[in-house]
Structure 1
Amino acid sequence: MGTNTKSDIALTGRTLASVVRHDLPASLVVFLLAVPLSLGVAVASGAPPAAGLVAAVTGGVVAGLLGGSAVQISGPAAGLSLVVAELIAVYGWRATCLITLLAGGLQLLLGTFKVARAVLVVSPAVVHGMLAGVGLVIALGQVHVVLGGAPQRSAVENLAELPGQLAAVHGHAVLVGLLTVGVMFGWNRLPRRSRIVPAPLAALAVSSATALLAGWDVTRLDLSAGLVGWVAPVWPEGDWHGIVAAVLLVALLAGVESLLCAVSVDKQRDGGRSDLDRELAAQGVANIVSGALGGLPVAGVIVRSTANLRAGARSRWSAVLHGLWILLFAVCLWRTITLIPAEALAALLIFIGVRMADLRRLRGLHGHGEIPIYFATMAGVVLLGLPEGVLLGLGLAALSALRRLTGVTVRARPEPDGRWHVLIGGSLTFLGVPRIVAELHTVPPGVAVDLDLNIDFMDNAAFEAVHAWRQEHERGGGSVDVDELHDEWYAMAAGGARMFPAKSPPRDPERWWLPWAHRRGPTLLPAGPSPAGSPPERAGPVPAPDHLLAGAREFHRRTAPLVRPFLHAMARGQDPSHLFITCADSRVVPNLITASGPGDLFTVRNIGNLVPRWGAVPRDDSVMAAIEYATGALGVRTITVCGHSGCGAMAALLDGGEKAAGLPSLGRWLRHGDHSLARFLSGPDAGADEGALDRLCRTNVVQQLENLLTVPRVAELVGRGRLELVGLYFDIPTARVHVLGPVPGLVDRHP
């Protein structure tokens, strides 16, 4: 879903107030962070320092106004510094500006043809590995600047020259670098109130002031070449194949980094998602303008975007204003930049480079087996170069994906009843035939076999292997019962039907929602026919534990493979959005009537879906504990009370407690329903056609919503608009869910 950008641009009165309150302060925070980082990226790229400011202004104003992400900040990105440095070395700075311009045109074309989603096929492991490799290369090169030397052409040469550089005599440059790194490390450990400006700006300010006051011999930044006048880009001289490759490389790297940044920021904020095609087109326009004005390539930057979001930005005006602040600074205060020692910027780049190789990213990659891709890409960037490292990572990711797509699970084991159970899962291709054949031949001859095919594709080689084994096993006196959980690939192949090359999507388990007594299957029910419109008859009484065990086996066979990826992601914690309070009645299945899945509902079930009033007697801590935990620890946004027709608890209230005779605990619990009964007796006789019991069931739901409002925390959250109370009524005979209106009215509607 694309975000609505029109309301961001049109400065209505309400929008202007939001900009002043939220976006203006956020823009100042990002501005203070962007200036030193933009200068650092320019220095790392070997470009004029002013080129970093030009790219920052262009990224903020142009990409901010036209982009499809509301809070993303664009500007010069450290991840592109190696490419820019190589282009400057080969073609010169002015020709590099034209390559940036052409790359922007390609991005604009790709965004216009709406191919942004296709760019996201690049594995995050490759992207993170590339950024880690770039960070290490930047750090290795800038170490030489801090030590008073000059960076070499490659990371390998920088590493080889490092011992000699360390052994040389060092002057004030090392002191400036150590001071900068020390401030960067210590800044975030200060009290929050003391950290008025971002750490990079504070580090440069302290090191610059110290070097100036102490009279240290350091190298100052020179902005005169970039601010004296504009020089038009020139066409690169050289083989056109190399020029085309350079344009493609800049366009794709900048585009991928921008789109991944937009997606990452979307995960951190509420509201509409980014329009990725519009964002890619806007990045193209920004690069056209930046290249024409003599700036670095522009891309979305995650560090500045995250800082913008955390500073409270609500719309794109924060990005635009931050660009305007940088423009004002570059025009009016550019002389202050000349006071910054180049060694301080180098130290800042070392710190940033090491942070780019953040090993915390490995946590997310570990569970998917993509750590080798990460390290291979990083090593390739450091040892071979950026394009070569990215291609190495992409190749390894493709091989890994091919291995997974063609991977097959084969498991054969004996059952207690003497039968053998064989499971073959995955995509059955010729690559898995040796493993399939080896496992199938472990099955003893002459036994009965249940063969489950949990597959989404089967080629001819795999079919021939399975079918030949089945024929051989049956000739030896055994039997093979084939059960295909997805499309019938085996049955179609055996029947001579035409096989389509596409893989089939997984189907939901058949009739998983039926009661046990209505299901057919080898364990639960006989396969014989039953009269039309009537439940199938049992062969005999089936003990309840057998139902549970058979149901668990069915879950393992059919449902577990489908939900396992989701449950694996939720294994470390839950984040439900709803507290669902409903009756313990066996006919009410919350996940069925709400079409919800694991992790959606935090559920409380009791007799009569009752919520005791605050301070009620007899005291009940169970329901109150669930409400406290759901609103305090889980932060649910909705509390739903769901009643149902024909509720036994409400019937007990109507007959004056006779049905609860001999059940003292139930009688005490039903006292919490006295307010519902009183409300029913004093209310109008509306909907008399549905009967007194069902009217009381509906009234009880509305009363429980009122009871929830007696809980102080619930009342406070509802009053602040942080929590919503909803009433549902499930009519069992018609299988309809009705929404009951807010307290105190009773409005009936279908969801």
Structure 2
Amino acid sequence: MTTSLPRPAQHAPPRRRDAVRADVLASLVVFLVAVPLSLGIALASGAPLMAGLIAAVVGGVVVGLLGGSPLQVSGPAAGLTVVVAELVSRFGWQTTCLITAGAGLLQIAFGCARIARFSQAIPPAVLHGMLAGIGITIALAQLHVVLGGSPPTGAPGALAELPAQVAQARPDAVLIGAATVALLLLWPRLPRRARVLPGALVAVGTATALALLMPGAPRVDLPGNLLEAIELPTLLPDLPWAGIAGGMLTIALIASVESLLSAVAVDRLQSDAGRWAPRANADRELIGQGAANTISGVLGGLPVTGVIVRSATNVESGARTRASTVLHGGWIAVFGIALVGVVELIPLAALAGLLVVVGLQLVKPADLRAARSHGELVVYLGTVAGVLLLNLLEGVAIGLVLAGLVMLRRAARARVRIVEPDGAEPWRVIVEGTLSFLSVPALSRTLATVPAGAPVRVELVVDYLDHTAFDHLDAWTARRRASGAEVVVTEPGARVQGDRPRHGYATWSQWQMTPGQEVDHTPHAPLLAGVAAYHSDAAEMIRPTLEKLAHGQAPKGLLLCCADSRVQPNLITRSGPGDLFTVQNVGNLVAGTSMRAALHYATEVLRVPLIAVCGHSGCGAMRGLLDGAQQPGDPLGDWLASGAPSLEALRAGHPVGKAALAAGYGEVEALAMVNVAQQLAALRAHGVDAALLGLFFDIPTARVLVLDEEAQEFRRPV
């Protein structure tokens, strides 16, 4: 059996006719989103408004043709607005274009040197803090435009001047800006069927219509069309090249990281949507982004990055190939050349209102919660403060320094805490992290709080224990035991205890039995021993996760698998609490009231995006079907009757069964594979609104195979 499956079964390449139609429709939707955003970002950057459209055209066409993420849409992005505004203020527009072109050349060099993987080393707290700082800066500056004024430079200045701006606000600008913001916030709350057009287009279009009743409202003023706006950068001998080189590096780094993160998100969106697409090539993506920035800078455009808002719109609109990205750039070019008069009807307050919302959307509560849960809140807040009070580059530098200090603190110090007993249980001292000499004072203080003579269990959940800490703990343990107190020191993370495996993937019989020990033959003994080991080794470690899940669940999918004791859903999918809504029955059949209830709850209440069906080798239910056990008259026979269509399909020459037999599998395994395909067909007949996936667990090899429905065979996933 071949093992070259690039993607799971439902991710089949689209037919050419379907792809062309889907790409054209998606490109039109993305075009409608991109135009107002590109104009607004140019406005916030202090650049000529047409520079935003130039960058959008170049990003769509050049990155669309050369980039490594086919469905990612590139163009001017809010994440670089503050940087560009600072460069324009410091060097002027033409020199900023030169910096953009130079940044593009650096990105091409990054791609050729294959250093894209190093971008993953930037802590998420730093990146999210940077984006939040940029978002707040944009929102504060554009709020002045919504009030009828001009955007100040920098967040502190914008905040300081805000009271005066409020006092002299223009009613027409406030009304237009408020209408834009209200529509943008209201639009996502409407039913999907009512949201035919993108919210940004509706908001700006409505505000433009409203502005027709207010002739004095400030509007977009363009010097000409897109072709006339093309302006080549100027090379002057007395330019401050040190500052220019710093600007090139700044734009290259930020644009590269943002584009690569956006590409990863696009891959995930395609996978969640159950669509086929080749995975992003990070190095090729950098080369494509670099080529676009070089060309955009030469033509007088803004810097280009991958933009998640437009990319998500592209995927959600059904795009199949890179043609949708290229076409959207073409539509923008036509618009910028032939429909300039329409652009000049747009009021500046509408674009500013759009940017206020876009800026605030960069400040995500989920990012703040994630930073807090990972102990990196100081890194996030430090980065935000640095970007707001200083500038973007210094803010990121502050974030990286703080991240390094947090890492050093974690590496050098352990977390020591004590849990008082509940009833007859012993006192527990839990030590987590790196237990070195630096943590001995904290360890000593905590151990001193344990009452004399009380039993105590010291749990070392540590990745390193140095000699000083070991010596201190060993001496304390010896003193306690000499006084008659019971002391137990455990290492919950260990996989081996003595000569026997300890928990992990071992069975009860493997880790509960020591050669020569007396065996407890009572039926409940192994289960209760397992529960006790769970409390000793795992409960405390998993408690923080379960606390977050205590008030609800949001599983990533429903997994239907056999009730066979050898099939462990969480083990073969490496999933944890809250990941999978699991249903197990004899033969993994889509049948019975219980299964229908679970299916309804998973799809209608939990809204799971994926349903997977998993069969396995040596399945007793499939053997029973082959032996005729599906005859009515007993509970098992009545149940197996639901699997009769799978047996009929195998005997009729189902291609999945043929492929299994040709690959050397037995008849039971072939029927189990056909049964998975038949249950997927049954789910489709139920009209489930979720992606579907077929799996097969080959017990002797411990391999999980994936059903390729186009090839009609099971293959190893890549």
Would you say the 8 A contact 2:41–2:78 is kept in 1? Answer: yes
Greater displacement, 668-677 / 46-55: 668-677
- Amino acid of the residue matched to residue 269 of structure 1? Q
- Amino acid of the residue matched to residue 312 of structure 1? G
- 1:331 paired to 2:337: yes
Would you say the 8 A contact 1:377–1:389 is kept in 2? Answer: yes
Q: What is the correspondence of 1:80-479 to structure 2 with a 5 Å cutoff?
A: 80-168=80-168, 170=170, 172-185=172-185, 195-212=195-212, 215-216=215-216, 218-224=218-224, 227=228, 230-234=231-235, 239-270=240-271, 271=276, 272-359=278-365, 361-405=367-411, 406-411=413-418, 422-443=429-450, 451-470=458-477, 472-473=479-480
Match of 1:574 among 555, 562, 574: 555
Which SS does the other structure have where 2:563 is aligned? strand
- Look at both structures and tell me which one has the larger radius of gyration over its CA atoms: 1
TM superposition shift of 1:561: 6.7
Deviations 1:221-246 (A, max 9, x none): 12349725533333585654433332
Would you say the 8 A contact 1:509–1:558 is kept in 2? Answer: no
Deviations 1:134-193 (A, max 9, x none): 222222222333433323233222222222222237364444434444554555566766
Would you say the 8 A contact 1:641–1:705 is kept in 2? Answer: no
- The residue that corresponds to 2:530 in the other structure is 551
Would you say the 8 A contact 2:62–2:291 is kept in 1? Answer: yes
Shift in CA distance, 382/704, structure 1 to aligned 2, threshold 3 Å: closer
Deviations 1:595-636 (A, max 9, x none): 755445824245xx5969x7xxxxx63455456656776565
TM superposition shift of 1:538: 4.1
Shift in CA distance, 710/462, structure 1 to aligned 2, threshold 3 Å: closer
Which SS does the other structure have where 1:426 is aligned? strand
Which SS does the other structure have where 1:454 is aligned? strand
Aligned residues: 674
Deviations 1:470-504 (A, max 9, x none): 4555666778665445579999xxxxxxxxxxxxx
TM superposition shift of 1:25: 0.8
- 1:604 paired to 2:611: no
Greater displacement, 406-415 / 264-273: 406-415
Flag structure 1 segments of 5+ consecutive residues without an equivalent: 6-12, 492-507, 528-535, 615-619, 658-664, 685-696
Greater displacement, 193-202 / 707-716: 707-716
Deviations 1:647-681 (A, max 9, x none): 99969x99999xxxxxxx9955555458999x99x
Which SS does the other structure have where 2:150 is aligned? coil
Q: Tell me the TM-score normalized by structure 2.
A: 0.78
- Amino acid of the residue matched to residue 266 of structure 2? V
How far apart, CA to CA, are the structure 2 residues paired with 1:65 and 1:318? Answer: 11
Would you say the 8 A contact 1:427–1:456 is kept in 2? Answer: yes
Shift in CA distance, 282/717, structure 1 to aligned 2, threshold 3 Å: farther
Flag structure 2 segments of 5+ consecutive residues without an equivalent: 8-12, 652-665
Shift in CA distance, 68/717, structure 1 to aligned 2, threshold 3 Å: farther
How far apart, CA to CA, are the structure 2 residues paired with 1:285 and 1:655? Answer: 66
Shift in CA distance, 164/459, structure 1 to aligned 2, threshold 3 Å: same
- Amino acid of the residue matched to residue 379 of structure 1? A
- The residue that corresponds to 1:498 in the other structure is none
Would you say the 8 A contact 2:101–2:295 is kept in 1? Answer: yes
Shift in CA distance, 698/415, structure 1 to aligned 2, threshold 3 Å: farther
- The residue that corresponds to 1:505 in the other structure is none
- The residue that corresponds to 2:654 in the other structure is none
TM superposition shift of 1:42: 0.9
How far apart, CA to CA, are the structure 1 residues paired with 2:506 and 2:339? Answer: 74
- The residue that corresponds to 1:639 in the other structure is 613
- The residue that corresponds to 1:17 in the other structure is 17
TM superposition shift of 1:30: 0.9
Shift in CA distance, 298/452, structure 1 to aligned 2, threshold 3 Å: same
TM superposition shift of 1:28: 0.9
- The residue that corresponds to 1:495 in the other structure is none
Shift in CA distance, 237/714, structure 1 to aligned 2, threshold 3 Å: same
TM superposition shift of 1:75: 0.7
TM superposition shift of 1:212: 4.6
- Amino acid of the residue matched to residue 136 of structure 1? I
Q: What is the correspondence of 1:446-595 to structure 2 with a 5 Å cutoff?
A: 451-470=458-477, 472-473=479-480, 482-484=489-491, 510=502, 512=504, 514-520=506-512, 536-539=515-518, 541=520, 543-560=522-539, 572-576=553-557, 578-583=559-564, 588-591=566-569, 594=572
How far apart, CA to CA, are the structure 1 residues paired with 2:133 and 2:296? Answer: 26
Would you say the 8 A contact 2:629–2:637 is kept in 1? Answer: no
Deviations 1:672-695 (A, max 9, x none): 458999x99xx99xxxxxxxxxxx
Provide the alpha-carbon RMSD of the alignment. Answer: 5.0
TM superposition shift of 1:83: 0.9
How far apart, CA to CA, are the structure 1 residues paired with 2:704 and 2:181? Answer: 63
Would you say the 8 A contact 1:138–1:349 is kept in 2? Answer: yes
TM superposition shift of 1:374: 3.5
Which SS does the other structure have where 2:270 is aligned? coil
Greater displacement, 119-128 / 397-406: 397-406
How far apart, CA to CA, are the structure 2 residues paired with 1:487 and 1:729? Answer: 29
- Amino acid of the residue matched to residue 550 of structure 1? A
Q: What is the correspondence of 1:44-55 to structure 2 with a 5 Å cutoff?
A: 44-55=44-55
Which SS does the other structure have where 1:455 is aligned? strand
TM superposition shift of 1:214: 5.0
Greater displacement, 38-47 / 463-472: 463-472
- 1:716 paired to 2:685: yes
How far apart, CA to CA, are the structure 2 residues paired with 1:122 and 1:22? Answer: 36
- Amino acid of the residue matched to residue 621 of structure 1? T
- The residue that corresponds to 2:659 in the other structure is none
Deviations 1:363-395 (A, max 9, x none): 544533444544443333233332333333333
TM superposition shift of 1:47: 0.8
Greater displacement, 77-86 / 355-364: 355-364
Which SS does the other structure have where 1:268 is aligned? helix
Q: What is the correspondence of 1:665-704 to structure 2 with a 5 Å cutoff?
A: 667-672=634-639, 702=671
How far apart, CA to CA, are the structure 2 residues paired with 1:729 and 1:513? Answer: 17
Greater displacement, 159-168 / 253-262: 159-168
TM superposition shift of 1:317: 1.4
Higher relative contact order, chain-length normalized (CA < 8 Å, sep 6+): 2
TM superposition shift of 1:413: 6.2
- Amino acid of the residue matched to residue 233 of structure 2? A
- Amino acid of the residue matched to residue 383 of structure 2? T
Would you say the 8 A contact 2:492–2:538 is kept in 1? Answer: no
How far apart, CA to CA, are the structure 1 residues paired with 2:637 and 2:201? Answer: 65
Which SS does the other structure have where 1:269 is aligned? helix
Greater displacement, 344-353 / 541-550: 541-550
TM superposition shift of 1:435: 1.6
Would you say the 8 A contact 1:702–1:740 is kept in 2? Answer: no
Greater displacement, 702-711 / 306-315: 702-711
